[in-house]
Structure 1
Amino acid sequence: MQWHFQKTFLWGTASAAYQVEGAYNEDGKGQNIWDAYCQEIGHIAHGENGNVACDHYHRFREDVKVMREMGIRNYRFSISWSRILPDGTGKVNEKGLQFYSDLVDELLANGIEPLVTLFHWDYPLALHQKGGWMNRDSSDWFAEYAKVVVDALSDRVSYWMTINEPQVFIGCGYAIGKFAPFEVHQAKDLTRMTHNVLLSHGKAVQVIRKYAKKKPVIGFAFATACCTPEDTSPAAVEAAKEKSFAFTKGRFPFEISWWADPIFFGAYPKAAYEILGEENMPEILPGDMDIISQPVDFYGVNIYESKAAENPDGYAENAYVGCARTQMGWPVTPEALYWSPKFLHERYQKPVLLSENGMACHDWVQLDGRVHDPNRIDFMKRYLRELHRSIQDGAEVMGYMYWSVLDNFEWADGYDKRFGLVHVDYQTQERTIKDSGYFYRDVIATNGEAIFSDTWEDVKA
């Protein structure tokens, strides 16, 4: 058994524009739905918002140096659509575009490969007021935006992700009302939005393929892990696989097959027509599915815990009395990184990129001036060991992006939850690399061998 990952493995970390940038109304930036709706009382813990966040907009050079100190080789970040196009379409904000160009240059100068995500939830308010994802024109708006970004950055950027976690921004933003714009819609609206999001993805893929100056590597970053089997018997494995890709009426916006099957198979799951009914399915015009099923190069997936059915009267399938949980309350289920890449690769026949994985835990700067987070180090070892095992057993996995590089604005939870490898003091904006950041440096330097050590000696430079 090889105790390291393949030489081409992408080791990196990730962030999202609204969660880290701040500068919400500077240099010509337009408002997005999080800018607007975070201001309404009752949506976000403590009434917080991303107006300042980690001030990454002003401190990105400092942050890149911190990444270099941690040995980060790849950085996945998202573009703020409304920073580039304040009205969502039309006139380009050159200062906003320059920020991302400067960020890319700074990353490359420090030996860090940029991975660009075009959309990570921060939908332009001006377009939301025109119907947003409900409006069929939304896919053309997104294609226009993609073209602006590709024209500006593709001479230096090779890796592209179109859309981050549509399961979450549609499911939580428009089905259950937990995230911006905090709306609740019925199935017919949700399927219509889904179709327009998928058309947006497909048109963006077309734009990148046509206009990229460097040969592009294109995918997306979906949510939802696969289920894990009760045991390793063939029957249990097959049952877990079927549950992973099943279609259910109550949670269909969150289902893997609802989003991925149209991209890879050119059609929505047959079960969707049976369960939702023809009357609730989206209107599909000639050519739509060809656009949606544009070939991609990888399947990006964000995984924090295994997929499991909820139980309102007890524990979800992936939990039990006294199980380990992160600060988010999510069960610690390392096996998710074994079964998910395996099942996803088998079904969709594309390399898998772990575009997010990580944990929130109770971090603070301790009396010695350091941030000691042994739970996170243990979490990373357990999950990465399972990912390594999945690769050894045949899953094609191209990389791992730890979420996140910095503590940041955690959406409806405000700033209470800390996912970062780097601690951020939100009063002073001081950055402190956590023990886990130095551990990850060792993981990268040894191409994964460090995860197999039962102890870890801090070798802070």
Structure 2
Amino acid sequence: MATPELPDIASLRPDFIWGVSTSSFQIEGATQEGGRGPSVWDVYGHTDELKNRDSGDVACDHYHRYPEDVALMKALGVQAYRFSVAWPRVLPQGRGSANEAGLAFYDRLLDELLAAGIEPWLCLYHWDLPQALEDSGGWLNRESVAWFTDYTTLVAGRYGDRVKRFATFNEPSIFSLFSRSLGQKGRSAEDDLHRMIHHVNLAHGAAVDVLRDKVRNVSIGCIHNYQPCRPSSDRAADAVAAAHLSTYWNNAFPDPQCLGEYPAAMRSAVAPHVEADDLARICRPLDWFGLNHYSPVYVAAKPGALLGYDFGNKPSGCALTPIGWPIEPAAFADTLRIVHARYALPVYVMENGYGDAMQPDETGAVIDSGRMAFLRAYIEAMNAAAADGVDIRGYFIWSLLDNFEWDSGYSKRFGLTYIDYASQRRIPKASFDWYARLIRAARQP
């Protein structure tokens, strides 16, 4: 297959930001080095429940190889890199004494990025809760708001001289909906879910206030996975389940954070956990909306399941990525329009990408034509939304590197760079060069 042409980006802003994203647990490795404490994903990764019994122990070994990875970003020409700090690396117990060795790692990373002319975008939380805090109730404990406040204070004080772009959370709807701590020991899973949602929202608001206080000229957002939730059949029950899931998947976090109230469909369920002034503490001024988007979600009713849903069949003939996710760029454009209209904030696309399992060919090259075609179609959809007046200011591909993809382990590859996990060799894919060409073209006067 021929290399896809570059997309039409004529409607994007002249100062549009092109970047790449990663997260700490998915790439860093070195989980027992430099004084780092265990996270919930370290513990889960050693239960043998993950695909191929994979774990994040080594991942991409970014902890040791970050200069090579920054050099890859410089070769791409990206203006920005969105990454996350590992909470248990800087606070091994989640609170209390800070770990200087862990803090120093991010000092080195930031200095390397800035020397390469790449702006750091720091996400405070990308799912790796310190296990010590989970043992104390995790996000189900209202004290988690104070824990996150203290953690944010540490990070802002240490890095705020070099980092001006901060995200509080990545995909809070996903780590809450699929938390392993819901409904254990006879508790109600749905009540736990509402409690967790509210505590995470409170932690977000508290972190915004800390960042405003500690970091001069700070720019703050939260990153939400916003996907259309569609019924998988024409059954009325599936339509109800899809609408119900959409409330939690798409609106349970940005609505209170940006609009000052929970969606009507869940308001009474979360009310027992809401105290006086909580909504004002959550709804703090934000500078941008972070959007992660991959595909629509197809939903089937499942009585007795959490929120009464399951993932259902996709429409026959629906184009799919090799890992089975629908390819529908029009849904991306529609989502951008919805988010812009509902929340009235500038939008940065913080994750969009294509998963496969492609290996190098006999020449050692990775010619990922499917990824390039996907990116071209989605970037053109973004351009169409911008032409309609949507205030889109940046696009970050998931991901710079193949990495640890949560329950899927290393079986799914989203990177612009192939990782040979046995040797840790980095091999830029054809899509890497394609994206570099796009960035060069976009930055030409």
TM-score normalised by structure 1 residue count? 0.86
Change (3 A) 1:211 1:12: same
Is 1:304 equivalent to 2:294 in the alignment?
yes
Q: Distance in 1 between matches of 2:283 and 2:315?
A: 39
Is contact 1:81-1:123 (8 Å) kept?
yes
Is contact 1:170-1:253 (8 Å) kept?
no
Q: Distance in 1 between matches of 2:187 and 2:62?
A: 32
Q: Distance in 1 between matches of 2:128 and 2:322?
A: 25
Alignment identity in percent?
A: 38
Q: Distance in 2 between matches of 1:317 and 1:51?
A: 33
Structure 1 position 72, deviation (Å): 1.7
Is 1:256 equivalent to 2:250 in the alignment?
yes
Any idea what SS the aligned residue of 1:255 has?
helix
Structure 1 position 22, deviation (Å): 0.1
The equivalent position to 2:89 in structure 1, one of 83, 98, 101, is 83
Letter in 2 for 1:429: Q
Partner of 2:217: 215
Is 1:372 equivalent to 2:362 in the alignment?
no
Any idea what SS the aligned residue of 1:447 has?
helix
Q: Deviation per CA, 1:57-79: give whole Å up to 9, x if none.
A: 00000110011111122110000
Structure 1 position 46, deviation (Å): 1.0
Q: Distance in 1 between matches of 2:94 and 2:405?
A: 24
Q: Distance in 1 between matches of 2:229 and 2:329?
A: 12
Q: Deviation per CA, 1:53-99: give whole Å up to 9, x if none.
A: 00000000011001111112211000000000000001000110111
Change (3 A) 1:173 1:425: same
Partner of 1:27: 34
Partner of 1:204: 207
Is contact 1:44-1:414 (8 Å) kept?
yes
Q: Distance in 2 between matches of 1:270 and 1:77?
A: 34
Is 1:131 equivalent to 2:100 in the alignment?
no
Structure 1 position 192, deviation (Å): 0.6
Q: What residue ranges of structure 2 are gaps of 5+ in the alignment?
A: 1-7, 231-238, 303-309
Partner of 1:286: 276
Structure 1 position 126, deviation (Å): 0.4
Q: Deviation per CA, 1:317-358: give whole Å up to 9, x if none.
A: 994223221132111111122111111110111011111000
Partner of 1:456: none
Structure 1 position 200, deviation (Å): 0.6
Q: Distance in 2 between matches of 1:50 and 1:70?
A: 26
Partner of 2:3: none
Change (3 A) 1:74 1:86: same
Q: Distance in 2 between matches of 1:341 and 1:199?
A: 26
Any idea what SS the aligned residue of 2:261 has?
coil
Is contact 1:225-1:306 (8 Å) kept?
yes
Partner of 1:384: 379
Higher relative contact order (CA 8 A, sep 6+): 2
Q: Which moved more, 1:218-227 or 1:342-351?
A: 218-227
Change (3 A) 1:150 1:283: same
Structure 1 position 398, deviation (Å): 1.3
Q: Distance in 1 between matches of 2:136 and 2:113?
A: 36
Change (3 A) 1:348 1:2: same
Structure 1 position 216, deviation (Å): 0.8
Q: Distance in 2 between matches of 1:291 and 1:431?
A: 44
Change (3 A) 1:176 1:91: closer
Is contact 2:81-2:121 (8 Å) kept?
yes
Aligned residues: 422
Is 1:267 equivalent to 2:261 in the alignment?
yes
Change (3 A) 1:264 1:4: closer
Letter in 2 for 1:89: R
Partner of 1:237: none
Structure 1 position 5, deviation (Å): 2.2
Structure 1 position 184, deviation (Å): 8.9
Is 1:73 equivalent to 2:82 in the alignment?
no
Q: Which moved more, 1:380-389 or 1:3-12?
A: 3-12
The equivalent position to 1:435 in structure 2, one of 430, 437, 443, is 430
Structure 1 position 163, deviation (Å): 0.4
Q: Distance in 2 between matches of 1:38 and 1:362?
A: 21
Structure 1 position 2, deviation (Å): 6.8
Any idea what SS the aligned residue of 1:116 has?
strand
Q: Distance in 2 between matches of 1:146 and 1:30?
A: 17
Partner of 1:234: none
Is 1:44 equivalent to 2:34 in the alignment?
no
Any idea what SS the aligned residue of 2:207 has?
helix
Q: Distance in 2 between matches of 1:24 and 1:223?
A: 27
Is contact 1:164-1:221 (8 Å) kept?
yes
Partner of 2:112: 106
Q: Distance in 2 between matches of 1:8 and 1:159?
A: 16
Change (3 A) 1:282 1:420: farther
Letter in 2 for 1:299: F
Any idea what SS the aligned residue of 2:397 has?
strand
The equivalent position to 2:346 in structure 1, one of 331, 346, 351, is 351
Q: Distance in 2 between matches of 1:50 and 1:253?
A: 32
Q: Distance in 1 between matches of 2:50 and 2:249?
A: 26
Q: Distance in 2 between matches of 1:339 and 1:68?
A: 32
Q: Deviation per CA, 1:276-300: give whole Å up to 9, x if none.
A: x45x644211221111000111111
Change (3 A) 1:282 1:224: farther
Q: Distance in 1 between matches of 2:214 and 2:10?
A: 40
Q: Deviation per CA, 1:202-246: give whole Å up to 9, x if none.
A: 00000000001x311100111122469xxxxxxxxxxxxxx99x9
Structure 1 position 306, deviation (Å): 2.5
Is contact 2:18-2:439 (8 Å) kept?
yes
Q: Distance in 2 between matches of 1:124 and 1:186?
A: 22
Change (3 A) 1:49 1:317: closer
Structure 1 position 368, deviation (Å): 1.7
Letter in 2 for 1:291: R
Is contact 1:12-1:74 (8 Å) kept?
yes
The equivalent position to 1:187 in structure 2, one of 159, 175, 190, is 190
Letter in 1 for 2:353: G
Any idea what SS the aligned residue of 1:173 has?
coil
Structure 1 position 187, deviation (Å): 1.2
Structure 1 position 185, deviation (Å): 5.2
Change (3 A) 1:350 1:378: same
Change (3 A) 1:376 1:199: same
Structure 1 position 308, deviation (Å): 4.2
The equivalent position to 1:151 in structure 2, one of 145, 150, 157, is 157
Is contact 2:226-2:335 (8 Å) kept?
no
Partner of 1:336: 331
Is contact 1:4-1:446 (8 Å) kept?
no
Any idea what SS the aligned residue of 2:253 has?
helix
Change (3 A) 1:310 1:379: farther
